[in-house]
Structure 1
Amino acid sequence: MVVHLLAHGTSGKSGGVYVIGGDGKRTTGDIEAWLKLVEDHEPENEAPLVLFLLDMCHSGGPARLNWQQVMRAEYRKAWVIAASEPGKLAYNGWLSQAVAQVLEWFHDDTLRVDSQLPHIPLSRFCWEVKRLVEGYVVEGPGVEQLVQTPLAPLGDDLSHLAFFPNPRYLSDEAPAKDHPEAREAAEPLPTAALDPTLAALLDEAPDFRHFMSRASGVEPFLDRIDGGFFCGRRKEVSNLADWLRGKGKALRVVTGKPGVGKSALLGVLVCAAHPALRPKTQMLWRRLVDPPPAVSKLAVVHARRRSVAEVLAAMARQWSLKLVGSHTVQDIATALAESESPPTLVIDAVDEAESPRELMAVLLMLIDSRRADGRPVCRLLVGIRPERRFAPLLRRARRARGRLDLGRAPRRELQRDLHGYIRELLSATEMYGMAAQEEAAEELARSIAHRLTRRHHMPVGEFLVAALYMRTVLDQPVPVTALGARELGAEMPRGLRELLDLDLSQRPSTPWLRPVLTALAFAQGNGMPEEIVQAAARAFRVKEREQPVLGRNPRCPTCRQLLPAQRCGQRRQHAISPLSSKPCRSATSGRWRRESLAVPFGSWRTVVDGSPVSAAVCGTPCQRGWMPGKVDQRSRVLGPCRSPVIEVSADLGVSGPQAPEIPRGQKCR
């Protein structure tokens, strides 16, 4: 519920803030009494969440009450956005104007939050309103007015404060047909070939779409679920199938370099073992030599971009634990200890969660918790990268002989599996599926598998590189001879950067693509807002070659349109972050953006109109109250958005407006 009040206000001798009505008299009770009426409502579980928008003088007091500061955010019912500081005046209905303008901007897509969020985060809404009122003050008659927003302890989860719906929210149950992102979201992973009863599952916290797409083996290649092409990993599949049958110790960890196939292995096992997916996804797992049986009480979680609280909530929901309100790992462990038998959890992409180390600690606490009979409270299968920060979990798995490193496959076995995988991918296409092209497909698959399994180390997974190269193969004519097929396979890049360069070189009609992707390669934290993508992309362009074509600035809509064209595994909705409350980290591709898209250090000294990259992003003329469409394009407010860029500049050794000379070959962190 939102209560919006535009009125005169006054302070009493006791410090209470009263509303003055149309008759010129103040109300009987002060605003604090209204707030307490909401907070003390009985029964407590029926009390509504209420946001008070107080556009009146002296209104800051009710937003800064002492008893508000000691309440836990999840129990607090009344929230206040006030037009002015305590004891100060408010002018011209600026707060009301700002609220209306911000909501209009969210509606017409001038302002945006992640399409996976059903509501606009209250913190983002407050920041935009406060910034806009500051703009009114700058343009006003020399008065001061500072909006007071709610205070909450750092780290508190405020996602339950759902006051304003997100117009860009996409639901698999009822997507808007005329919504551009609804159409785009439907294209990469169409589910028409699957049973319609799966539709209700695709938008749950477990993210079944992730496990299904990885199990298919073609998502990097075709961007959709189109049959099952999972190939190889026979020993690992047999090992984990037995583990899902209840054999062995409670902990298993699947690890390996990016793109090696961790998610694909977990995905095909989840499709076979999950009771809801098993009968509907046989096309994805039926080729397994030793598929696991259906496992009751199986919970699956895709941890990418999820908080610890979201992961715990997903566990409790899937295991049907009767817990009230928010719950801790101790609450879940206690509830599991009383169950008939230990349930099973499969969790992927722990390294891409919002707080990976905190999530790892939660998983270790679960595996250390014991039932009355001495067994762990649950069985745990984790997909994770072998990074130093996860050493406690990796050591625990190694001691239990439960660590499966997919990067240690024998070379001949890997080459055989790659050959079979590529051969099947080619056979599924119209170009190589005909009898006349069988020889070319065979030679091409053999050549690519041989090149990828040469003794030189590859920093990324061979299966991922092979699938991505198939896009380039299909853009070229089918080789007429076996020699031509072998030469095409021998030309395949062995790294993602070289593969990206090849892909971009075939797109002369999209000259802004490389600068935009280069800018996004340095996104940190909550991602990179579109204003900064715009400024950084301009600075990253190659001046001599691209300036005549590109013009001065890429417009934000152009940046949004460019990313779907970049097909190397990058997802647009996770690349440009409109200051959403979710971290900007895509899947495997999100981790290699920095490695493959980042230009050499010399490009950080690229000068555009006399300014290096750091100056192009952080040194542009700035007005405190920037309003879209109302000031010059070169004037923008970066606000808290500036910190990720400044952090990256510091990493690169950029301490001032000019970047120092950095020797070539120095490693980028």
Structure 2
Amino acid sequence: MVSEGSGDERPSMLLMGVGKFASSVPEDEEPPPLADGWDDLPFVDELMPRLKQAYERLSYAVTDVRDPNLEAVGRGWRHARRENFGIVHVISHGTTRLPHERRFQSQEQLFMVASDGGVGADSAVDLWARDAQLQPEPMLLVVDLCRAGRAARVAQLAVVPDDELNVWVIAASSPYSDAYDGAFSAAVADVLEQIAANGLDTDPSLRYVQWDRVVPAIQRSLGRSGSRQQIHSTKVDLARERWLPFFPNPRWVDDPRRERFRTITPPVREFVADLGAEHFMDRVGSHFVGRAGQLAQLAPWVDDPATGGLTVVTGAPGCGKSALLGALVCAGHEEVVRAAPEIRRYLAAQHPEGVPSPNPSLAAIHARSRDLDAVLTSLTYQWRLSDDQHRGHGEPYTVAELLTRLQTLPTPPPLIFDALDEADVPADLMRQLLIPLVTTLRPDGLPVCRLIVGTRRWPLFRPLLELASAQGCLLDLDDVPDDELRRDLETHLSRHLAEHPAYRRPDQRPVRSALAGSIAAALTQNPQTVREWGPFLVARIYCRALDSLEAPVDSESAALLGADVPLSLPDVFELDLGLQTNGSRLRAVLAAVAWAKGEGFPTEAIAAVAPEFHPEIGEDDVRQLLDAARFYLRTGVENDGSTLYRLFHQGLADYLKANPYAIASPE
């Protein structure tokens, strides 16, 4: 029976399964000893409806063919090839021999056994793979046969360049092993169902779930079923896998701006993430406000090649170091301006004197979890030094080579280097790279680089801090005059509250004005508190807590509410969690994320750690909690396409590592 697809614009796929096999012995005769024949496969009747539904949930128009004879197998294949089907999935017995071995045997030969027991050119899966390579559209063969791995090892396809390959195979077993009980197809169905439910946690910026996300998931599902089968699949070049169009990602967001954002190289992209670029994409006007004086001081410094070599920006956790440097990078780094021009336009509207010019020589390094080699590789790329004739393509410079090469440039290039305190072995980066960059001189007497560094005030960094102080270029954000800090903070809060649903009505203007002023005054009244926790970070979290608090009805009650703002990150974080109905579970997930390195943890790693801090949190719970906690999170993309999560601020990560358990009993 053949059930054709609907003929709409959905991608099409062919599903062929053989569960019943005709006997080669007439009904009125006894089978002779050792007679050839094929056992029925009763599991096929159970798998076919499940597989069809799973493929349909991924928007495929499914042509399903049950128990086809040899002629029908060939007809089904030719139809799939002619109509450019995206996937062909087959389940049956598999054999490597033709009847009576009438033709030559090869290491690749593989036949799907038809319901009449027939095998031949119509059912030669290895020939299908060769044939599919010649078709105009890419095709995936999902092969659940004994010795199916032969289809993934066709020699003619193994030598095809990666950028010309047009057919891919996922096979149930090795070229020399059996496949049992449809376990492979059941695992495929399981993974397809997971993709339809959550995209295997693939990042929303990717339209398709990647190959090296899907294939390992099938193997894991196969293992969970108790099967020892080892699947074999086509080797896929990492540079191509992002676009293999077989497994649509249901989480994909069709937004070219976000796709451009993902093209920014990671050491630069971190600045955009820390500044909240994805917030800019949706609500540009409500995020970065303040530090106008510091921006007006640093932007001309970035533009002027004759200025000195070093500026260090320091201060308490949450004082706005990364936001300040991120604003400079987002306005001046050509890669960011190309990918997200709206950020520069917004910053220019807010602080016209605090926006550097787009600069092709500006490099940016966010040092979180990066070592010296990673930094040198990125600088070699950003300063376009890897095109030198006597160096290999992409080969990074050593520090000595970099210093020598920088002396030959027309002007000293600017470098914005943030999160030194979060780097791998930060002391090595400081001694071996940063200090030499500003103490090595060019022939004209200028330092070879103009460097801005963002870091905490740790004793470890005393040599760098003292060098900046001696040059008059140590910018401590905690030493900003109280009145200036209070004005910046009040402006920041006023703009946020103006967009808040509970405060944006015209008659609420006096209320939000009183609330913003009261919060700003409370957070800046004690210089010691300011130097322990940055008021911008505390205010930001308090604004989230306001979502769960009843809005005051007049200016007097607004001023009282603002005066009660917690003065530290731990206190305001505990306040916000206490206002959430699932606060202890949110804490467990955030505590798990706190241990993430680099761009973050994938969902499965968080799901493995979170139960340590709260019992009975499953993987599906983690997904819901990550969505509820997105205010506290930043995301990245793993090489396999999965979303990575990390906390939005290192200070919060430090606090949760030390205090991962809820004070109250679990809900």
* TM-score, structure 1 as length reference: 0.58
The residue aligned with 2:107 is 16
Instruction: Identify if the C-alpha distance between structure 1 residues 526 and 228 changes in structure 2 by more than 3 Å, giving closer, same or farther.
Output: closer
The residue aligned with 2:487 is 420
Query: Share of identical aligned residues, percent?
Result: 23
Worse overlay, 319-328 or 79-88: 319-328
The amino acid that maps onto 1:8 is: G
User: Which string of whole-angstrom CA distances, capped at 9 and with x for unpartnered residues, describes residues 304-346 of structure 1?
Assistant: 9999999979996997998999834359989999997776565
User: Which string of whole-angstrom CA distances, capped at 9 and with x for unpartnered residues, describes residues 260-315 of structure 1?
Assistant: 32232123324543575779745524554843552342567685999999997999
The residue aligned with 2:540 is 467
The amino acid that maps onto 2:528 is: R
| TM superposition shift of 1:450 | 1.0
The residue aligned with 1:284 is 347
The residue aligned with 2:645 is 584
Aligned pairs for 1:89-100 (under 5 A) are 89-100=178-189
Instruction: Identify if the C-alpha distance between structure 1 residues 329 and 582 changes in structure 2 by more than 3 Å, giving closer, same or farther.
Output: farther
Structure 1: 5+ residue runs without aligned partners?
A: 139-143, 175-197, 542-551, 609-669
Instruction: Identify if the C-alpha distance between structure 1 residues 47 and 525 changes in structure 2 by more than 3 Å, giving closer, same or farther.
Output: farther
Q: Hey, what's the Cα distance between the residues in 1 that align with 2:491 and 2:369?
A: 34
SS of equivalent to 1:500: helix
User: Contact 1:366 / 1:377 at 8 angstroms: preserved in 2?
Assistant: no
User: Which string of whole-angstrom CA distances, capped at 9 and with x for unpartnered residues, describes residues 423-444 of structure 1?
Assistant: 2234443559745775665454
| TM superposition shift of 1:202 | 4.6
The residue aligned with 2:43 is none
The residue aligned with 2:523 is 448
Q: Hey, what's the Cα distance between the residues in 2 that align with 1:26 and 1:330?
A: 56
SS of equivalent to 2:525: helix
Instruction: Identify if the C-alpha distance between structure 1 residues 79 and 255 changes in structure 2 by more than 3 Å, giving closer, same or farther.
Output: farther
The amino acid that maps onto 1:570 is: L
Instruction: Identify if the C-alpha distance between structure 1 residues 256 and 422 changes in structure 2 by more than 3 Å, giving closer, same or farther.
Output: closer
Which one has a larger percent helix, Structure 1 or Structure 2? 2
The amino acid that maps onto 2:107 is: G
SS of equivalent to 1:106: helix
Aligned pairs for 1:301-450 (under 5 A) are 327-329=394-396, 346=416, 385-386=455-456, 398=467, 408-409=476-477, 411=479, 413-428=480-495, 429=497, 431=503, 434-435=509-510, 441-450=516-525
Q: Hey, what's the Cα distance between the residues in 1 that align with 2:587 and 2:621?
A: 13
User: Contact 1:299 / 1:315 at 8 angstroms: preserved in 2?
Assistant: no
Instruction: Identify if the C-alpha distance between structure 1 residues 9 and 109 changes in structure 2 by more than 3 Å, giving closer, same or farther.
Output: same
1:504 aligns with 2:577: yes
| TM superposition shift of 1:568 | 5.2
Instruction: Identify if the C-alpha distance between structure 1 residues 508 and 267 changes in structure 2 by more than 3 Å, giving closer, same or farther.
Output: same
| TM superposition shift of 1:130 | 0.9
Worse overlay, 63-72 or 421-430: 63-72
Aligned pairs for 1:143-292 (under 5 A) are 144-148=228-232, 160=241, 162-163=243-244, 164-168=246-250, 170-171=252-253, 173=255, 202=261, 204-205=263-264, 224-226=283-285, 230-232=289-291, 234=293, 237-248=296-307, 254=313, 258-273=317-332, 276=337, 281-286=344-349, 288=351, 290-292=353-355
The amino acid that maps onto 2:293 is: R
| TM superposition shift of 1:116 | 3.5
Q: Hey, what's the Cα distance between the residues in 2 that align with 1:47 and 1:362?
A: 53
Q: Hey, what's the Cα distance between the residues in 2 that align with 1:27 and 1:447?
A: 80
| TM superposition shift of 1:102 | 1.8
SS of equivalent to 2:574: helix
Q: Hey, what's the Cα distance between the residues in 2 that align with 1:32 and 1:233?
A: 68
The residue aligned with 2:632 is 569
1:132 aligns with 2:221: yes
Instruction: Identify if the C-alpha distance between structure 1 residues 415 and 304 changes in structure 2 by more than 3 Å, giving closer, same or farther.
Output: same
The amino acid that maps onto 1:461 is: G
1:115 aligns with 2:204: yes
The amino acid that maps onto 2:646 is: R
The residue aligned with 2:655 is 595
Worse overlay, 299-308 or 552-561: 299-308
Question: CA-atom RMSD, angstroms?
Answer: 6.6
Instruction: Identify if the C-alpha distance between structure 1 residues 485 and 161 changes in structure 2 by more than 3 Å, giving closer, same or farther.
Output: closer
| TM superposition shift of 1:419 | 0.8
The amino acid that maps onto 1:133 is: L
Q: Hey, what's the Cα distance between the residues in 1 that align with 2:316 and 2:137?
A: 48
User: Which string of whole-angstrom CA distances, capped at 9 and with x for unpartnered residues, describes residues 540-595 of structure 1?
Assistant: 44xxxxxxxxxx95565554444454475335x679x9996564324326x62352
Q: Hey, what's the Cα distance between the residues in 2 that align with 1:52 and 1:149?
A: 10
Instruction: Identify if the C-alpha distance between structure 1 residues 424 and 336 changes in structure 2 by more than 3 Å, giving closer, same or farther.
Output: same
Q: Hey, what's the Cα distance between the residues in 1 that align with 2:511 and 2:259?
A: 43
SS of equivalent to 1:584: strand
The amino acid that maps onto 1:266 is: L
User: Contact 2:514 / 2:559 at 8 angstroms: preserved in 1?
Assistant: no
User: Contact 2:242 / 2:641 at 8 angstroms: preserved in 1?
Assistant: no
Q: Hey, what's the Cα distance between the residues in 2 that align with 1:218 and 1:117?
A: 15
User: Contact 2:331 / 2:355 at 8 angstroms: preserved in 1?
Assistant: yes
Q: Hey, what's the Cα distance between the residues in 1 that align with 2:408 and 2:297?
A: 31
Instruction: Identify if the C-alpha distance between structure 1 residues 24 and 596 changes in structure 2 by more than 3 Å, giving closer, same or farther.
Output: closer
The amino acid that maps onto 1:87 is: Y
Q: Hey, what's the Cα distance between the residues in 1 that align with 2:137 and 2:445?
A: 43
Q: Hey, what's the Cα distance between the residues in 1 that align with 2:175 and 2:639?
A: 32
User: Contact 2:316 / 2:531 at 8 angstroms: preserved in 1?
Assistant: no
Q: Hey, what's the Cα distance between the residues in 2 that align with 1:136 and 1:218?
A: 40
The residue aligned with 1:88 is 177
The amino acid that maps onto 2:396 is: V
Q: Hey, what's the Cα distance between the residues in 2 that align with 1:232 and 1:351?
A: 22
Q: Hey, what's the Cα distance between the residues in 2 that align with 1:326 and 1:48?
A: 33
SS of equivalent to 2:297: helix
